[in-house]
Amino acid sequence: MAAKTAIRSESGKVRRVIVVGGGLGGLMTAIKLCEAGVPVDLFSLVPVKRSHSVCAQGGINASVNTKGEGDSPRIHLEETAYGGDFLANQPPIKGMTDAAPGIVYMLDRMGVPFNRTPEGLLDFRRFGGTLFHRTAFAGATTGQQLLYALDEQVRRYETVEVEDENGMAIPGEKMVRKFEFWDMLSLVQDGQGVCRGIVAQDLKSMQIEAFPGDAVCLATGGPGIIFGKSTNSVINTGTAASAAYQQGACYANGEFIQVHPTAIPAADKLRLISESARGEGGRVWVPKNPKESRRGREVPESERDYFLERRYPGYGNLVPRDIASRELFVTCFHEGRGVYNTRTAKNESEVYLDLTHIPKPTLKRKLAGILEIYEKFVGEDPYDNPMRVFPAVHYSMGGLWVDFERSADGGLVHGSPRNQATNIPGLYAAGEVEYQYHGANRLGANSLLSCIWGGMAAGPAIASYRNNMGSSAYDAGSNLFDGAKKREQAKYEAILKMDGPENPFQLHAELGQMMLIDVTIERHNDRLDQVLAKIEEIDARSRKVSVLDTSSRMNQSAQFVRHLQNMIVLARVIAQGARNRDESRGAHFKPAFKERDDANWQRSTLAMHREGTNGHGQVNYVRELAYNLNGTQVNVSDAVDVGLVKPRPRKYETAGAASATAADDKAKASPSTTSV
Amino acid sequence: MSQAKNVKLKIKRQESAEGPARYDHFEVQWLPQMNVISALMEVRKNPVTSDTKEKVAPVNWESNCLEEVCGACTMLINGRVRQACTALIDQVAPGGEEITLEPMSKFPLVRDLVVDRSRMFNDLKTVKAWVQLDGTHELGAGPRQSPENQEEAYPLARCMTCGSCLEACPQVNDSSNFIGPSAISQVRLFNLHPSGKMHAKERLEAIMGEDGVAGCGKAQNCVEVCPKDIPLVDSITQVSRQATKHMLFGWLFS
């Protein structure tokens, strides 16, 4: 039974697609769907303008090559694959880096106030893992500015009417309907496992409803809050991804968690000081004398150890984040050379990030946003004295597994319904919630790009899936949705009755502390075994929490109990994945297995959920996946597609090492050109 | 100096706009770099009042980024509207004074410190705060812009829709429909953009009259409280001038 038309179901309802998450990935998906004529229901935990994308600071990568450096999307592809230690499939990276210049132009057309050159062109700056000026930026609040631009475009679609097949407006139906302050609880799946919609809860009234959608796209961001304090926003618990995983979606490369080298510690969160500080010339150092008691600015040049520049002369302070974070960790923990605090008479876990040699007007124009954060939260003047920083959990390279269709030239087949598709038919994912673009380590300023590109790929893929689907979700029958709603209502009722001895917020602090210490920069198998045992203990205790609040109106405690349960499930995926992978690659570093092991581990970690006999989840690792897309069987394996850039050892000691092949190719293509 | 200090909070509690209000008192341990948000986070780990030792429901509040770029955690702290994340305990209560937290008063209450600011997002629709794009497909580079234009636009573009300016504005009250400074400033922003200004007329028409620019009483409270130092008064003056010009001479060009 096919739907009546592309717009209406058999029963006459307007056929919508559900997007969960209103950051860059979700908004871009929504815009692309609207442009394809597909109406959208957009769900978000917060008003979409307050999504976590606002926290991105430094910029967005695109090889526009306006600085005469010979940059190109080909080099961007190579440096991204190399920076990710060859764990990412390369066709999607190619799709992204090829599209990047067009994406930045599009954002400029939308009105993003990017910094300008004197000639009125977009300005670009340097970022980690590259020698090229490739990063477009709007001060140091680029993520906020990009989010606002997409938010504005989606708001316009909230005022645009849905048209029927004859071009007539359908009264009362707008292209985008927003559901802000709604929490996704679960997917609605039919008897064949096809995703037909979601169940969600209104966080003001606590009402639970089921919503049909011809397809669902999750763009719900990363799970950083599992680590307690991080650079992430408080909503980044990974709850929706965890729910989808527990319903059969594959979670890939969960163990790859990016720790950003430069953040400022505090009681509630670890605030990021963007890599753009180093992109604009900021230098990282510690005093050569570990008991140095003078203020940073008073320590003479000759008595400073610029340890990143010393160890990595090729890329210096702009080595990729995994390497910089490890070096900071070694300097502070293993060598005990963190900045000395005369008050406590000990070496703190802090190094200097120094901008004081750069003229103040330049800093104001390019970095004011982050320097303002430092001033407001630390109460010190970063123009006058070097900032004190330390690494913090920042980004998840891993996430929901998503597919792609490879084209003959090793790139992407644009518009293929396989792009951004999870292994649950009808469920798509875009943005940090999925694992596709960054491999074992993400390069700075590639996340804004991958979120927007993910949405650009997901929108057309979903439209194509929807055009070819057998029957609309709106004709799936009310029993399916009533059943799903009742199931979630029962679960919520059970949470409201929880009256045990444990405090859920306290329990979360315990989980976070443990994950932060043992599952981040350095990983040891004996410690990971203890973590896994402790996760089981925390899981058991999470069933004995008190809900603390039984109100039937906005009830943040009850909501948090659910998020905590979902965080524990993903914590297990992350820790178990780390335990299994006996090698070092990108952000995953084991001192007992220092080398990358391509023979055994050049492959994606594919985790599937299984209910254990004790009611706890178990992680089942698979080497192959199969799913059915509108009647076509798709079979994939965990092998990484490295057809475009052949894996080689990753070294940042020598300048140009990350872009060596592209440079070679270029030299071969034009042998007569002499390089200068 | 090193002895354990406590942070004292007095928080307005209300189940709903209709329900009765009360104040709960809490005390939590002081932590380095502590802000109002971390104090609230400590309270929910053990939600017991400090005076009556009563177990109460944890306080509901809105927050997200915790670095003053999302605008979510806006509330009244000791009677002054601001973000709770940048309200450092050592600055708000240097001598260990009790800190009073209340929800903003110009928006409908949801619960405790949470209010409903959806009117602000609707106002952005009213003023058409967007550049009308032909599409997101590749259309080449955007219009060239001088660095000066960018430097005028960027501060305006940092508005987080936090509501501080509406809270502080005497003209925003139960008996007025004044749209408030933030939406007017967005009119200025989009009328500055080379393609945005092609639809300047529609935006100006949306803010003419009593509920628009004419509603401003020039109290200038908005610039005082704006956490991002957005030149809101300048924006109102400029947009007001644009609107007057359009009203007087617009017909000449139509």
- Looking only at the bridges linking them, the beta strands covering A624-629 and A632-637 are antiparallel
Residue A420 has which token pair? 């951004």
Chosen from B70, B90, B137, B187 to mutate, greatest number of chain A CBs within 10 A:
B70
Which residue from A55, A56, A74 is spatially nearest to A132, judged by alpha carbons?
A74
Q: Give the pLDDT confidence score for residue B85 in this predicted structure.
A: 97
With contact defined as beta carbons under 8 Å apart, do B131 and A101 qualify?
Answer: no
Quote the minimal CA–CA distance from A472 to chain B in Å. Answer: 27
Answer left, alpha or beta for residue A6, where phi above 0 means left and psi between -120 and 50 means alpha.
alpha
Of A122, A153, A548, the CB nearest to B47: A548
Q: Give the pLDDT band (50/70/90) at residue B47.
A: very high
- Looking at per-residue confidence, does A613 or A220 come out higher? A220
Last residue of a domain, one of A412, A445, A478: A478
Average pLDDT over residues A264-284: 94
Quote the minimal CA–CA distance from A240 to chain B in Å. Answer: 17
Burial of B29 (0-12, 13-18, 19+ CB in 10 A): exposed
User: In sequence order, which residues have a C-beta less than 8 Å from that of residue B173 and are 6 or more positions away?
Assistant: B106
In a domain, A610, yes or no: no
* Residue ranges of B 141-180 with Cβ closer than 8 A to chain A: 141-147, 149-151, 153-154, 157-158, 160-161
Q: Give the pLDDT band (50/70/90) at residue A671.
A: low
Neighbours of A468 (CB within 10 A): 12
Q: Looking at residue A342, which CATH number applies to its domain?
A: 3.90.700.10
Of A115, A152, A272, the CB nearest to B129: A152
Residue A630 has which token pair? 């509108």
Which residue from A344, A307, A305 is spatially nearest to A329, judged by alpha carbons?
A307
Helix axes B147-157, A142-157, angle to 10 degrees: 70
Q: Is the dihedral of CA B232, B233, B237, B238 positive or negative?
A: negative
Same domain for A189 and A94, yes or no, is yes
Chain A residues with CB under 8 Å of B60 CB are 554-556
Of B38, B67, B143, the CB nearest to A373: B67
Which residue from B62, B106, B60, B61 is spatially nearest to B81, judged by alpha carbons?
B106
Average pLDDT over residues A635-647: 97
Distance separating alpha carbons of residues A451 and A439, to the nearest angstrom: 15
Chain A residue with Cα closest to B116: A204
Which residue from A306, A286, A309 is spatially nearest to A296, judged by alpha carbons?
A286
Between A280-284, A374-378, A447-451, A581-585, the lowest mean confidence (pLDDT) is in: A374-378
DSSP state of A340: E
Last residue of a domain, one of A478, A508, A534: A478
User: In sequence order, which residues have a C-beta less than 8 Å from that of residue A624 and are 6 or more positions away?
Assistant: A635, A636, A637, A638
Task: Tell whether A114 is within 8 A of chain B (Cβ).
Answer: yes
Encode pLDDT of A442-465 as tens digits.
999 999 999 999 999 999 999 999
Encode pLDDT of A57-82 as tens digits.
999 999 999 999 999 999 999 999 99
Distance separating alpha carbons of residues A260 and A262, to the nearest angstrom: 6
Quote the minimal CA–CA distance from B27 to chain A in Å. Answer: 16
In a domain, A657, yes or no: no
- Looking at per-residue confidence, does B3 or A285 come out higher? A285
Chain B residue with Cα closest to A123: B147
Burial of A653 (0-12, 13-18, 19+ CB in 10 A): exposed
Task: Tell whether B105 is within 8 A of chain A (Cβ).
Answer: no
Q: Give the pLDDT confidence score for residue A372 in this predicted structure.
A: 92
Mean pLDDT of chain A: 96
Q: How many CB pairs under 8 A join A and B?
A: 203
Average pLDDT over residues A79-88: 98
Write down the catalytic residue from A74, A134, A283, A321: A321
Amino acid occupying residue B184: I
Q: Give the pLDDT confidence score for residue A674 in this predicted structure.
A: 43
Quote the minimal CA–CA distance from B172 to chain A in Å. Answer: 22
User: In sequence order, which residues have a C-beta less than 8 Å from that of residue A487 and are 6 or more positions away?
Assistant: A186, A199
Distance separating alpha carbons of residues A438 and A446, to the nearest angstrom: 8
Same domain for A444 and A530, yes or no, is no
Cβ–Cβ of B46/A373 closer than 8 Å?
A: no
Quote the minimal CA–CA distance from A661 to chain B in Å. Answer: 29
pLDDT at A91 over 50: yes
Chosen from B59, B154, B226 to mutate, greatest number of chain A CBs within 10 A:
B154
Same domain for A132 and A237, yes or no, is yes
In a domain, A242, yes or no: yes
Last residue of a domain, one of A575, A604, A633: A604
Distance separating alpha carbons of residues A645 and A668, to the nearest angstrom: 16
Task: Tell whether A116 is within 8 A of chain B (Cβ).
Answer: yes
Same domain for A203 and A136, yes or no, is yes
Same domain for A376 and A463, yes or no, is no
Q: Please compute, for residue A660, the number of CA atoms within 13 A of its CA located in the half-sphere on the CB side.
A: 14
Q: Give the pLDDT confidence score for residue B236 in this predicted structure.
A: 97
Average pLDDT over residues A542-547: 98
With contact defined as beta carbons under 8 Å apart, do A265 and B33 qualify?
Answer: yes
What is the SS3 assignment for B114?
A: strand
Same domain for A276 and A375, yes or no, is yes
Distance separating alpha carbons of residues B36 and A412, to the nearest angstrom: 48
DSSP state of B57: P
Encode pLDDT of A299-336 as tens digits.
999 999 999 999 999 999 999 999 999 999 999 999 99
Judge whether A321 counts as a catalytic residue.
Answer: yes
User: In sequence order, which residues have a C-beta less than 8 Å from that of residue A633 and are 6 or more positions away?
Assistant: A626, A627
In a domain, A618, yes or no: no
Encode pLDDT of B50-92 as tens digits.
999 999 999 999 999 999 999 999 999 999 999 999 999 999 9
Quote the minimal CA–CA distance from A629 to chain B in Å. Answer: 27
Chain A residue with Cα closest to B109: A204
Which residue from B158, B148, B77, B114 is spatially nearest to A120, judged by alpha carbons?
B148
With contact defined as beta carbons under 8 Å apart, do B100 and B77 qualify?
Answer: yes
Q: Give the pLDDT band (50/70/90) at residue B2.
A: very low
Task: Tell whether A376 is within 8 A of chain B (Cβ).
Answer: yes
Same domain for A80 and A202, yes or no, is yes
Task: Tell whether A505 is within 8 A of chain B (Cβ).
Answer: yes
Distance separating alpha carbons of residues A484 and A196, to the nearest angstrom: 11
Domains of chain B: 6-115 (3.10.20.30), 118-253 (1.10.1060.10)
Q: Give the pLDDT confidence score for residue B3 in this predicted structure.
A: 53
Cβ–Cβ of B111/A551 closer than 8 Å?
A: yes
Q: Give the pLDDT band (50/70/90) at residue A666.
A: confident
pLDDT at A676 over 60: no
The helix (run of H) or strand (run of E) holding residue A163 is: strand A161-163
In a domain, A318, yes or no: yes
Chain A residues with CB under 8 Å of B130 CB are 110-111, 152-153, 155-156
User: In sequence order, which residues have a C-beta less than 8 Å from that of residue A473 and are 6 or more positions away?
Assistant: A15, A196, A197, A212, A213, A214, A426
Distance separating alpha carbons of residues A178 and A185, to the nearest angstrom: 17
Neighbours of A638 (CB within 10 A): 18
Of A50, A109, A111, the CB nearest to B72: A50
Distance separating alpha carbons of residues A526 and A510, to the nearest angstrom: 19
Of A265, A268, A373, the CB nearest to B41: A268
Task: Tell whether A394 is within 8 A of chain B (Cβ).
Answer: no
Residue with tokens 């190399």: A82
Cβ–Cβ of A549/B57 closer than 8 Å?
A: yes
Distance separating alpha carbons of residues A629 and B97, to the nearest angstrom: 62
With contact defined as beta carbons under 8 Å apart, do A411 and A98 qualify?
Answer: yes
Cβ–Cβ of A138/B157 closer than 8 Å?
A: yes
pLDDT at B250 over 90: no
Quote the minimal CA–CA distance from B251 to chain A in Å. Answer: 27
Q: How far is CA A405 from the centre of its chain?
A: 22
Residue A111 has which token pair? 């009105």
Same domain for A57 and A182, yes or no, is yes
Residue B91 has which token pair? 């600055």
Helix axes A525-542, A504-518, angle to 10 degrees: 170
Share of chain B above pLDDT 70, in %: 97
Q: Give the pLDDT band (50/70/90) at residue B253.
A: low
In a domain, A665, yes or no: no
Q: Give the pLDDT confidence score for residue A670 in this predicted structure.
A: 62
Encode pLDDT of A413-432 as tens digits.
999 999 999 999 999 999 99
Q: Looking at residue A522, which CATH number applies to its domain?
A: 1.20.58.100
Same domain for A244 and A127, yes or no, is yes
Share of chain A above pLDDT 90, in %: 95
Distance separating alpha carbons of residues A617 and A248, to the nearest angstrom: 12
What is the SS3 assignment for A9?
A: coil
CA distances from A220 to A29, A244, B100 (A): 12, 11, 34
Distance separating alpha carbons of residues A445 and B80, to the nearest angstrom: 37
Task: Tell whether A551 is within 8 A of chain B (Cβ).
Answer: yes
In a domain, A674, yes or no: no
Average pLDDT over residues A144-156: 98
Quote the minimal CA–CA distance from A622 to chain B in Å. Answer: 36
Cβ–Cβ of A159/B195 closer than 8 Å?
A: no
In a domain, A425, yes or no: yes
Chosen from B34, B62, B150 to mutate, greatest number of chain A CBs within 10 A:
B150
Look up the domain containing A363 and give its range. 260-393
What is the SS3 assignment for A570?
A: helix
Residue with tokens 């200025």: B188
Residue with tokens 């009250």: B173
Of A35, A156, A550, the CB nearest to B135: A35
User: In sequence order, which residues have a C-beta less than 8 Å from that of residue A25 and are 6 or more positions away?
Assistant: A219, A221, A430, A431, A432, A433, A451, A452, A454, A455, A458
Encode pLDDT of A21-35 as tens digits.
999 999 999 999 999
Helix axes A556-580, A478-496, angle to 10 degrees: 100
Q: What is the ipTM of this complex?
A: 0.97
Q: How far is CA A361 from the centre of its chain?
A: 33
Q: Give the pLDDT confidence score for residue A222 in this predicted structure.
A: 98
What is the SS3 assignment for A418?
A: coil
- Geometric angle at alpha carbon A350, from A349 and A355, rounded to 5°: 175
Cβ–Cβ of A234/B38 closer than 8 Å?
A: no
pLDDT at A472 over 80: yes
Same domain for A415 and A307, yes or no, is no
Same domain for A389 and A401, yes or no, is no
Between A166-180, A231-245, A350-364, A653-667, the lowest mean confidence (pLDDT) is in: A653-667
Same domain for A561 and A414, yes or no, is no
Task: State how many domains chain A has.
Answer: 3
Encode pLDDT of B161-203 as tens digits.
999 999 999 999 999 999 999 999 999 999 999 999 999 999 9
The dihedrals phi and psi of A426, each to the nearest 5 degrees, come to 90, -10
Task: Tell whether B37 is within 8 A of chain A (Cβ).
Answer: yes
Task: Tell whether A656 is within 8 A of chain B (Cβ).
Answer: no
